Amino acid sequence: MPNFIDRRLNPKDKSLGNRRRFLKRAREELKRAIKEHVKTGRIADVDAGHKVPMPQRGANEPTFQSARGSGDRQYILPGNKEYAQGDRIDKPPAGGGTGSSAGTGRDEDDFQFLLSREEVLDLFFEDLELPDMIKLSLKEAVAFKPRRAGFATSGSPTNINVGRTMRNSYGRRIALQRPSRKAVEALAEEIARLEAERNPDTIQRKRIEALRQQLDGLERRRRRIPYVDPVDIRFNRFERQPLPNAKAVMFCLMDVSSSMGEREKDLAKRFFVLLHLFLKRRYDRIDIVFIRHTDEAGEVDEDTFFYSPQSGGTVVSTALEEMHRIIQERYPAKEWNIYAAQASDGDNISRDSERCASLLNGALMRLCQYYAYVEIIDERETEIFGSTDNGTSLWRAYRTVDGEWPNFQMTRIARPSDIYPVFRKLFARQPTLQFRS
């Protein structure tokens, strides 16, 4: 009889540690591959598992190996059909190596490596964060979170730790020799048995008497030593752990007016999809407010924002006013970190751009932690505008804001491939800006 062991229930993922080490090793290479992928594919695809080629650099294991095509070798092969001694067989053209390995030409190059969604996002959003996450002025005002901190002898009944309590009670009962129920019952049974006998003689009667006294003693003792005593009771103790105030809200402002063609809307949406993913991934407690505008602005939900069509004229300031209204209503700047990202093609009704600039300068920039403006432009326009200040009316107006506030950033996107670099630029981890007091 051999020794059988069923290992199927052993903990899984024994090689997880190895996999993690390997990922770390190949990190740079994988990051590059994923970026390539995202550039060519749809941006929303970031949010999925990915296949990337097996990284070669940093993950090869060199050893001393024989060089192909050098020296004299001998091969023994099976299945001779027509060859006679002395026959000559032409070698395959150079580069193909020796003929015998032609049939197995599957090397590691065409091997794809499957990354999970989590791993992709981790690599993708590495080094990115919202700038200046914790309000300097609010650093002291903290929220509290209960954290387990051992046991206490007092507390509220809801926090009784039954396990602890019973353990204490058990120990005390043993120490004080509280008679167990079983012992009492055994005694009572013994008495009953003796009493049941018809003609008890004196010895038996004496015995019953003694037993009765013993039982009496036991019961008195049981009454005196309670099963659970207040001394036994233990409560779970909680400590209030201070948490830094990290309440944050992101405003996404998008122009959906008719001047925004399919292409512009698509680019803007891609940008926001990326932003949305990033926020969801990095910050578990962040509010996101979606505002879209034509000549009037409105707060919408996520689905409407990304998928529902709408068009009309353009009055950008309506969106800013809407944002301001929402801040006043729901997100007091004292408690919230406020971020905003705006995407537009830069077209605006005349003189409204100046109004936008003054809105920002006057009120919003004071409230916001960070404000990013992304302008979607035509590919041809990139050559005309380049990096000059010249541009649409909104762009020109925002230049003045840009000059005044360090927490304002503006940039242009012309192609899908610009989105990721611009996104990285806007949200690169940076030294804390010290601008609010």
Partner 1 sequence: MGKATTSKLLFQSSDWNFKTLSRAYDAIETIALDELGLDVYPNQLEIISSEQMLDAYSSVGMPLMYQHWSFGKRFVYEEHSYRKGHHGLAYELVINSNPCITYLMEENTMAMQTLVTAHAAFGHNHFFKNNYLFRQWTDASAILSYMEFAKKYIAKCEERHGTSAVEAVLDSAHALMDQGVFRYRRPPRLSSKKEQERARERLEYEEQTYSDLWRTLPRTTGRPNPEEAERDALERKKVLNLPEENLLYFLEKNSLTLEPWQRELLRIVRVIAQYFYPQRQTKVMNEGCATYVHYTIINRLFDQDKISEGALLEMLHSHSSVVFQPHFDDPRFSGLNPYALGFALMQEIERICNHPTSEDRDWFPQIAGSGQWRETLLDAWANHRDESFILQYLSPHLIRKFRLFLLTDQADEKYCEVASIHNERGYEAIRKALARSYDVGANQQDIQVVDVDLLGDRQLRLQHNIKNGILLEEKNRDATLRHIRHLWGYDVSLAGVDTETGDVRYECSTAQIGG
Q: Which residues bind partner 1 (CB under 8 A)?
A: 1-8, 10, 12, 14-15, 17-25, 54, 59-81, 83-91, 98-100, 103-104, 106, 108, 111-114
Query: Minimum distance from CB of 58 to partner 1 (Å)?
Result: 10
Query: Minimum distance from CB of 99 to partner 1 (Å)?
Result: 8
Query: Minimum distance from CB of 124 to partner 1 (Å)?
Result: 20
Q: Which is nearer to partner 1, 62 or 230 (CB)?
A: 62
Q: Which is nearer to partner 1, 61 or 301 (CB)?
A: 61
Q: Which is nearer to partner 1, 86 or 157 (CB)?
A: 86
Residues 6+ apart with CB under 8 A from 343: 253, 254, 255, 267, 268, 271, 272, 373, 374, 375, 376
Q: Which is nearer to partner 1, 63 or 158 (CB)?
A: 63
Query: Minimum distance from CB of 92 to partner 1 (Å)?
Result: 10
Backbone φ and ψ of 292, nearest 5°: -125, 155
Query: Minimum distance from CB of 39 to partner 1 (Å)?
Result: 24
Cα torsion 331, 336, 342, 348: sign: positive
For residues 207, 213, 215, 220, the Cα torsion angle rounded to the nearest 10 degrees is: -170
Query: Minimum distance from CB of 75 to partner 1 (Å)?
Result: 5
Query: Minimum distance from CB of 11 to partner 1 (Å)?
Result: 10
Q: Which long-range contacts (CB under 8 A, 24 or more apart) does 64-73 make?
A: 68/97, 68/98, 69/94, 69/97, 69/98, 73/98
Q: Which is nearer to partner 1, 23 or 184 (CB)?
A: 23
C-alpha R_g of the chain:
39
Q: Which is nearer to partner 1, 91 or 280 (CB)?
A: 91
Question: Which one-letter amino acid corresponds to residue 47?
Answer: D
Dig out the tokens for 327 from the structure. 């801040």
Distance from C-alpha of 249 to C-alpha of 218, rounded to nearest angstrom:
69
Distance from C-alpha of 422 to C-alpha of 372, rounded to nearest angstrom:
11
Q: Which is nearer to partner 1, 3 or 156 (CB)?
A: 3
Contact 296, 368 (CB under 8 A): no
H or E segment and range at residue 375: strand 370-376
Tell me if residue 102 falls in helix, strand or coil.
Answer: helix
Kindly write down the DSSP assignment for every residue of 242-303, as one continuous string. Answer: EE----EEEEEEEE-STTS-HHHHHHHHHHHHHHHHHHHHH-TTEEEEEEEESSSEEEE-HH
Dig out the tokens for 355 from the structure. 């109004």
Query: Minimum distance from CB of 20 to partner 1 (Å)?
Result: 7
Distance from C-alpha of 410 to C-alpha of 397, rounded to nearest angstrom:
11
Query: Minimum distance from CB of 97 to partner 1 (Å)?
Result: 11
Q: Which is nearer to partner 1, 114 or 203 (CB)?
A: 114
Q: Which is nearer to partner 1, 93 or 157 (CB)?
A: 93
Query: Minimum distance from CB of 90 to partner 1 (Å)?
Result: 5
Cα torsion 294, 297, 302, 304: sign: negative
